[in-house]
Amino acid sequence: MNDKNNITENLQENQELQNNNIESKETDLNQTQQETKDELSELKEQLEKQKDAYLRLLAEFDNFRKRTEKEKFEIADVIKGSVVRDFLPILDSLEKAYEACVNDESIRSGIELVIKAFKQLLEKYEIKEVDTECEFNPNLHEALMIVESNTPNKIVQVFEKGYTYKDKLLRPAKVSVGKLNNNDNNTNEDKNEEV
């Protein structure tokens, strides 16, 4: 019987050892599993941070690209406006020559063709003449004189044409502006006053 007891005891000890071993392995496995979950969670968090940083960088780059493109066009517009502004006195001279050439029709028609071609070129590049058939607008017109008139605040005379480029003023129109007649107060004063 002793042998049976020994065997039973050995079996029980073996069973206990196996159970302990299984519990130990389960604990190790649970611990490893928890560590793996923690590590996976940390890696997911890092991945989200990296993804967020990437998306921010991508958006920042896209904004930079758009801003650079816009600045490029703005610089081109400034340069075009500057070049056109330098050519406007030539057009002014041609128009004055046209007005002065009343006796020679062949020269006058030649100048007229050049002026027409010049104005077509200006129109092609969105350069427009400032309207002077209207009320005085300090954003578009420069008043050189004020003259008495029955139409107050209207442009009476144009000394130099003004031009805009894409709704930006290149050169204001230089004009004289009408002021309502005040014959009662100032009969002896000069009727025109310079600004």
Mean pLDDT, residues 144-173: 93
| CA quadruple 20, 24, 26, 32: dihedral, nearest 10 | 180
Where on the phi/psi map is residue 128: left (φ > 0), alpha (ψ -120 to 50), or beta?
A: beta
Does residue 181 fall inside a structural domain?
yes
Does residue 179 fall inside a structural domain?
yes
Mean predicted lDDT score pLDDT of the chain = 87
Q: How far apart are the C-alpha atoms of 182 and 121, rounded to whole Å? A: 45
| CA quadruple 10, 16, 21, 26: dihedral, nearest 10 | 150
Token couple for 162: 């003004």
Mean pLDDT, residues 163-173: 93
Q: How far apart are the C-alpha atoms of 145 and 128, rounded to whole Å? A: 24
Give the model's confidence band at 180: pLDDT under 50 very low, under 70 low, under 90 confident, else very high: confident
- Are residues 187 and 140 in contact, defined by beta-carbon separation less than 8 angstroms? no
Q: What is the pLDDT of residue 187?
A: 45
Which is it for the CA torsion 109, 115, 120, 121, positive or negative? positive
- Which residue range forms the structural domain that includes residue 136? 130-195
Mean pLDDT, residues 60-71: 96
Does residue 7 fall inside a structural domain?
no
Does residue 21 fall inside a structural domain?
no
Does residue 135 fall inside a structural domain?
yes
Does residue 169 fall inside a structural domain?
yes
- Position of tokens 């050439």? 101
Q: How far apart are the C-alpha atoms of 172 and 79, rounded to whole Å? A: 18
Mean pLDDT, residues 89-111: 91
Give the model's confidence band at 20: pLDDT under 50 very low, under 70 low, under 90 confident, else very high: confident
H/E run at residue 174: strand 173-180
Per the model's pLDDT, the better-predicted residue between 4 and 132 turns out to be: 132
Does residue 13 fall inside a structural domain?
no
- Are residues 115 and 91 in contact, defined by beta-carbon separation less than 8 angstroms? yes
CA neighbor of 138 nearest in space, from 162, 116, 114, 157: 162
Q: Per the structure, how many domains does the chain have?
A: 1
Q: What is the pTM of this model?
A: 0.64
Give the model's confidence band at 194: pLDDT under 50 very low, under 70 low, under 90 confident, else very high: low
Give the CATH number of the domain where residue 141 resides: 2.30.22.10
Does residue 23 fall inside a structural domain?
no
Phi, psi of 186 (to 5 degrees): -125, 70
Q: What are 27-51's pLDDT values in tens digits? A: 877 888 888 888 999 999 999 999 9
